[in-house]
Structure 1
């Protein structure tokens, strides 16, 4: 797969970039972790744009204690619907269920499936593999018969989804479940995921700065996520390093033309296909990293809404 980028970002995205530059926001690598978290919360949090039947904050048991979750119920009829576990982006360092509230509301509304957003532990307080183990605990919880009955979900149709670092965690959780003989995963949705080392790619060089996520930001996130250099070689940290990707769940992989991670995601989609895993790959040539969050004012991008519909169609085709 050789994904391309357009000559220029989409006009809506260009307006976002101009606005982002105008507020003189610190790059992630220019301040402290607390600065970065505060900036990201301010950038991504706002009034909900999609009303659902219910949205409930809860907690489940994890390896270090309680893991907060948020359950989105779209109010669709019928029993045993697919269930989506969503892992938010933010470089494993920033982000929360609040920053991705609109994303999960939209996901539940578009698919008609209940969505569970997982507030996994963030680095540097909880470096690799702590957040991943929280995500795996959420998968085990979702596969329990009691959970399925309560959420009117089908434990045989569990979906792992996430964006950016969350896409990495979704892919890694699927790989870990396969290798541990854990719960079956029916599908994975990987939105501009981190899957390997993106630095040798054309996308990392040509999109190194000026398109929201920069090469410097990416390196800053990695420095906080990996407490030990040896962890960078771990296949559950960067799933594209795995020798064998066979017998993983079918996947939708989404990338963006002006994203330094574009070629990384495309390479993982290609590796999955080569291993015999069904893949639906979509590259949005005029989009940037994070465009799935651009679904409400002041940055409401039509292409982002179209991408949700496309992912929902992939899930419907595969699961129903």
Structure 2
């Protein structure tokens, strides 16, 4: 379907010019670019920032509790930003909405950004943080047997990787994964047509993806590692059930949909939805786009089903 006209003004921005700025200015621009959903603070039961000591660094997490005594199920959120941009503040409003609408504790991870923290450090940091959450469930007033994970863009990438790691290591249990507009095949080895069809003009470009990948990896050959490109894994069986969301005008659309197909072929329960007329990053445009609000409602519905329907 045609592009949603509400996106026209945003797409007048010269994003290629922004990539040429110094890194600190790029990050500042990215943080400002999400003012869309910061128009009001959504109240939740409580919000606390904690530090988790991982082997990579001291990792900041933000814990959002719903109202009520608990313990509650937990949804661990990993932010997007191409491994280079982003922080817990960017998705603060989204996390608060999930708390209230899914009736769960949300724990948002602020992992180290590239190029300062290159692959596999963000994977190790996020995995160790998720394990810490699982190990400290009682302290966090959450249910250790009802932990899910998810994220937007590369937050979805890391969520998919951690879901695979949790299965393989057997150190913790994840019951559900939410993958939104994720980069799952870093170099496009599966030849996704969307990287050609949507290569330019829709905020994130195929050249932009290549730039982010170069910031993240030490060398491009690392992209063949499933810990970097979870779509290239050999085994998709016994992974957590999944909600996978893609966008019509996203270069990453096809790899998300192929990931859903491979999960389903391996017997994993998958709900896949493509949002037509929107672009990469639409999920955080809660104030502007009805599609974003619908996607968030879908995520919350799927989380409630995973948490409360036995």
TM tier, smaller: over 0.9
Superposed CA offset, 1:137-192 (max 9, x none): 11111111xx3223321111111110110000000011111112220111000011
1:33 to 23, 28, 37: 23
Q: CA contact under 8 A between 1:213 and 1:259: conserved in structure 2?
A: yes
When residues 224 and 28 of structure 1 are mapped into structure 2, their CA distance, relative to the original with a 3 A threshold, is farther
1:64 to 46, 56, 61: 56
Which residue is 2:249 aligned to? 258
**Alpha-carbon distance in 2 for matches of 1:217, 1:30:** 11
Matched residue of 2:61: which SS?
A: strand
Q: Are 1:157 and 2:146 matched, yes or no?
A: yes
Which residue is 2:42 aligned to? 50
2:88 to 97, 101, 106: 97
Which residue is 1:3 aligned to? none
1:227 to 181, 203, 218: 218
Matched residue of 1:285: which SS?
A: strand
2:76 to 58, 70, 85: 85
Matched residue of 1:143: which SS?
A: helix
Aligned alpha-carbon RMSD (Å): 1.7
**Alpha-carbon distance in 1 for matches of 2:176, 2:263:** 13
Matched residue of 1:174: which SS?
A: helix
| CA drift at 1:34 | 1.9
Superposed CA offset, 1:243-283 (max 9, x none): 11111111100001011100010000101011111101111
Q: Structure 2 stretches of 5 or more lacking a match? A: none
**Alpha-carbon distance in 2 for matches of 1:28, 1:142:** 36
Which residue is 2:289 aligned to? 301
Superposed CA offset, 1:183-206 (max 9, x none): 011100001111114472221111
Q: CA contact under 8 A between 1:158 and 1:185: conserved in structure 2?
A: yes
1:191 to 154, 157, 180: 180
When residues 51 and 198 of structure 1 are mapped into structure 2, their CA distance, relative to the original with a 3 A threshold, is farther
The number of aligned residues is: 304
Superposed CA offset, 1:28-64 (max 9, x none): 5333322321110111254544122222222111112
Matched residue of 2:296: which SS?
A: helix
Which residue is 2:208 aligned to? 217
**1:252-291 paired onto structure 2 within 5 Å:** 252-291=243-282
When residues 28 and 135 of structure 1 are mapped into structure 2, their CA distance, relative to the original with a 3 A threshold, is farther
Q: Structure 1 stretches of 5 or more lacking a match? A: 1-5
**Alpha-carbon distance in 1 for matches of 2:212, 2:297:** 30
| CA drift at 1:106 | 1.8
1:10 to 4, 10, 34: 4
**TM-score of the aligned structures, taking structure 1 as reference length:** 0.90
Q: CA contact under 8 A between 2:99 and 2:105: conserved in structure 1?
A: yes
